[in-house]
Amino acid sequence: MFYLDPSYMMYALPGLLLAIWAQAAVRGTFSHYARVPTSTGVTGAQVAEIFMRVTGLRVGSNPIPGMLTDFYNPSNKTLNLSQSSVQNSVASVAVVAHEFGHALQDAQNYMPLRLRGAIVPAVTLGSWVGPVLFFIGLYFQNYNLALAGAIAFAATTVFAIVTLPVELDASNRAMRLLASNGVLAGEELTGARKVLNAAAFTYVAAVAQSLFQLLYFVSLLAGRRRN
């Protein structure tokens, strides 16, 4: 199995270290700016209401437990806001503005968002079926089965790659809304951008992890092919 293969670490370690660093960066940046109040006194949850008013886009809003667990659900058009969203802080405002950016993408039929949603079933299946098929194929020396497993897993890599522009676009939409509506200004906008950039890097790390995993599969297939 791959966890007994020393060469696996050559592929797994870079992505793993990048993911650890990205998670530490986003938590550290969020923690810092969660202690910086906004000059306007608004909370993240209030920003959602402001943006709905100025854009005319109405979506639902649900409270959910946890911190940094905020997400927009396109299936029922709702912003799901974590406990941190009720804070008056640059960090909470930035995160909620980002999720509202996803709501705008959905309302405007932003193609990468549609593509990401379309491949979710393949990703859900391929993320666990792919590796199983791959290693069963290797064990029984069935090249075609192993190849099918690698192709199934590749859906997760495609998903990670498509997710990156979706997240970057949502952050850019958030920053424009925050600046144009006077919610944040000056150093507050700089802080919000730092929070969103740190969050975006977690998606870069996800691409790297999935890509390195896929490359490992390809390297094993190439070795078996030569043999």
For this structure, is 99 an active site residue?
yes
**Residue in 132, 158, 128, 125 with CA at minimum distance from that of residue 146:** 132
Give kind and range of the element (H or E) at residue 109.
Answer: none
- Of 49, 99, 167, 187, the active-site residue reads 99
CA-closest candidate to residue 98, choices 8, 170, 155, 154:
170
92 close to 99: Cβ distance less than 8 angstroms: no
Residue 115 exposed, middle or buried by CB count within 10 Å (0-12, 13-18, 19+): middle
Where would I find the H helices in 140-186? 143-180
3-state secondary structure of 71: strand
Tokens of 177: 């809304």
What would the DSSP string read from start to end of 27-81? HHHHHHHTTS--TT---HHHHHHHHHHHH----EEEE-SSSS--EEETTTTEEEE
Q: Are 37 and 88 in contact (CB under 8 A)?
A: yes
Catalytic residue list: 99
